[in-house]
Structure 1
Amino acid sequence: MAAEPKQIVSTSLCGDGYVLALAEPSRIKTLSWQADGPLSLAPKDVRGKAGAWPEAESLLAQAPAKLVLGPGDKPAATQLAQSRGSQVHVLPWTDGFAGIEAAIQGLGEFLHETERAALVVLDMQNRLQHLAERKQRRNLDDALPLRVLYLTPTLGTAGAGTMVDAAIRAAGGQNLADDLGISGWGQIPIEQLVTHPPDLILKSFFTDGPPSAVQFRSNHFVLRQISKKTPSLEIPGALWVCGGPYLIRAAEQIADQLDLMSKGEPS
């Protein structure tokens, strides 16, 4: 029987984040082809390992290895690689911290890194508890949570049941998109912002995302006027390319801003 592969290959930015949280760099054979791009948080010393694609030929060239596929990658592309001794783990899509914890534990078992996975989960749970305590202190002075609106250059937003919503709520904010009846991923009706203005605008992918043919809509007159008088916070897109280990950092950045605003300090 062939020996179990030790080295790890990740095919997606999402997988990169999970693998980097659980594995020593020496175990990482290849990260995703985007690992050296603007939406990657891979340390400099492993960015040179970028190059894996979720395609049959690319994965066959990496065999034998432990292949970590992202939520949208197709397992069928791994069949040839598996015939050469590769093992495959597909990360689940998750929109909340409980799902992220389960995904970390599942990958920890696949990589034989259960102790490290337990530590990563415990750290995230402790940080979530700290966020809850900060929210409680903030709400002693504020009658209602501050209304937070997530916005992309194409005026995309995130309502209930998304990882962005989970981060906003963990930080102690109220997701305005949810208030406006948006569930999941959608577009924000700009005119509604006149009667339902946010207290804080979260911006992502304005500087690190791909250019878009409809990006000009972010210069809409109404949005420009609202932006002039509404605090905004740029959340690095790399923190939430998927529901993964970095999402807690996005929640903490939002909480930092909410703390400042609750004290009346400028953003």
Structure 2
Amino acid sequence: MRTAWRATLGSVLVLAALIAPSTAAEAPRRVVSINLCTDQLLLALADPSQIAGLGPYARDPERSFFAARAMPFPSLSGKAEDVLVRHPDLVLAGRFTRRETRDLLAAKGLTLMTLAPARSIAETEAHIRMIGDALGHPERAAAEIAHIEAALARARAAAAKRPLRVLGVSRRGWISGTDSLSASLLSAVGLANAARDLGIGTGGFASLEQIVAAGPDLLLMEEHTTAAEDQGQAFLLHPALMRLYPPDKRILLPERLITCGGPMLAEAIDRLTTELKRVEGQEK
């Protein structure tokens, strides 16, 4: 337990009053989220009656895993004034939510819980546990964590057939790096991250030549692109990449599964398992 808390210190900023689990009687009744990732946690763990508002991207099906679940709830701009009129007793925000907004909400006496982006499965599970406790639903958090762990076990069995080096690449040659949530997924299931060979940690751009020289076995991508609508997509369709990494050398994980750390990781890991089985099947 102490190890889990130490792993979380760099990823979550939380008021001391919220560290202890809430009882049903103490649980907040009106909760507002103004960050995409805290939207996902709130939608997964709260009673519908507890949700007083969500961030501006909660309904976006490209970014939000729970976009359909978010539809009945108010969509807020994320600005302090929009939050204040909801009279919440708890506000969930991200570390990159505007500092001025967070300062104003705190100055108005609102209870604010701020989470940094989860960069690992361990941090994701710690966030789930913390939000579940804060909302008064620790049992729901435990169930979601169990789903993630079960998915990990299935993925490890699929990845154990042979070692593979994978490189996460997105538009214009952006590499997710070794210090990222997608990197944590690769490591957890026993796949090597080729970003390490490129010296990319938290993320950065790599040239086409660098990617080819790194020689990963597979590319990890967010979408299957067949036509370039802009320069960003054109990079992924370059003849050199298409020749070396046709569709059967590309693992696809949609953005909504890996942008945030949350319960959607169970589906992300299962999707990774399915993709690995597809690749292995085509190579036999």
Contact 1:177 1:188 (8 Å CA) reproduced: no
Aligned counterpart for 1:102 among listed residues 117, 126, 136: 126
Aligned counterpart for 1:65 among listed residues 89, 94, 113: 89
Aligned counterpart for 1:35 among listed residues 41, 58, 70: 58
Q: Rate the CA distance shift 1:245–1:45 in 2: closer, same or farther, 3 A.
A: closer
Which letter does structure 2 place at the counterpart of 1:57? Answer: E
Quick one: distance in 2 between partners of 1:109 and 1:75? 25
Structure 2: tracts of 5 or more residues without a match:
1-25
Quick one: distance in 2 between partners of 1:220 and 1:206? 14
Q: TM-score, normalised by structure 2?
A: 0.77
Q: What whole-Å deviation, never above 9, does each CA across 1:89-113 have from its counterpart, x for those lacking one?
A: 1113221111111111111222122
Q: Rate the CA distance shift 1:218–1:265 in 2: closer, same or farther, 3 A.
A: closer
Aligned CA-pair RMSD: 2.8
Q: Secondary structure at the match of 1:36?
A: coil
Which letter does structure 1 place at the counterpart of 2:180? Answer: T
Q: Secondary structure at the match of 2:156?
A: helix
Query: 1:123: which partner in 2?
Result: 147
Q: Rate the CA distance shift 1:170–1:256 in 2: closer, same or farther, 3 A.
A: farther
**Which range moved further: 80-89 or 25-34?**
80-89
Q: Rate the CA distance shift 1:256–1:171 in 2: closer, same or farther, 3 A.
A: farther
Q: How many residues align?
A: 255
Quick one: distance in 2 between partners of 1:154 and 1:213? 7
Which letter does structure 1 place at the counterpart of 2:79? Answer: E
Quick one: distance in 2 between partners of 1:23 and 1:83? 26
Query: 1:169: which partner in 2?
Result: 187
Query: 2:254: which partner in 1?
Result: 236
Which letter does structure 2 place at the counterpart of 1:91? Answer: L
Q: What whole-Å deviation, never above 9, does each CA across 1:4-26 have from its counterpart, x for those lacking one?
A: 74022111211111112211223
Contact 1:12 1:69 (8 Å CA) reproduced: yes
Which letter does structure 2 place at the counterpart of 1:199? Answer: D
Contact 1:202 1:233 (8 Å CA) reproduced: yes
Quick one: distance in 2 between partners of 1:69 and 1:212? 32
Contact 1:8 1:28 (8 Å CA) reproduced: yes
Which letter does structure 2 place at the counterpart of 1:134? Answer: A
Report how far residue 84 of structure 1 moved: 6.0
Report how far residue 229 of structure 1 moved: 7.2
**Which range moved further: 91-100 or 242-251?**
242-251
Query: 2:269: which partner in 1?
Result: 251
Which letter does structure 2 place at the counterpart of 1:131? Answer: A
Q: Rate the CA distance shift 1:265–1:205 in 2: closer, same or farther, 3 A.
A: closer
Q: What whole-Å deviation, never above 9, does each CA across 1:114-170 have from its counterpart, x for those lacking one?
A: 22222222332232233333333x2xxx3xx12212111121012212111111222
Structure 1: tracts of 5 or more residues without a match:
none
Quick one: distance in 1 between partners of 2:27 and 2:215? 56
Which letter does structure 1 place at the counterpart of 2:221? Answer: K
Quick one: distance in 1 between partners of 2:105 and 2:213? 55
Which letter does structure 2 place at the counterpart of 1:30? Answer: G
Quick one: distance in 2 between partners of 1:66 and 1:212? 41
Aligned counterpart for 2:34 among listed residues 1, 6, 11: 11
Q: TM-score, normalised by structure 1?
A: 0.82
Report how far residue 205 of structure 1 moved: 5.9
Query: 1:148: which partner in 2?
Result: 166
Mapping 1:72-221, distance limit 5 Å: 72-74=96-98, 76-78=100-102, 80-81=104-105, 86-136=110-160, 138=161, 142=162, 145-204=163-222, 214-221=232-239
Quick one: distance in 2 between partners of 1:135 and 1:49? 39
Q: Secondary structure at the match of 1:51?
A: coil
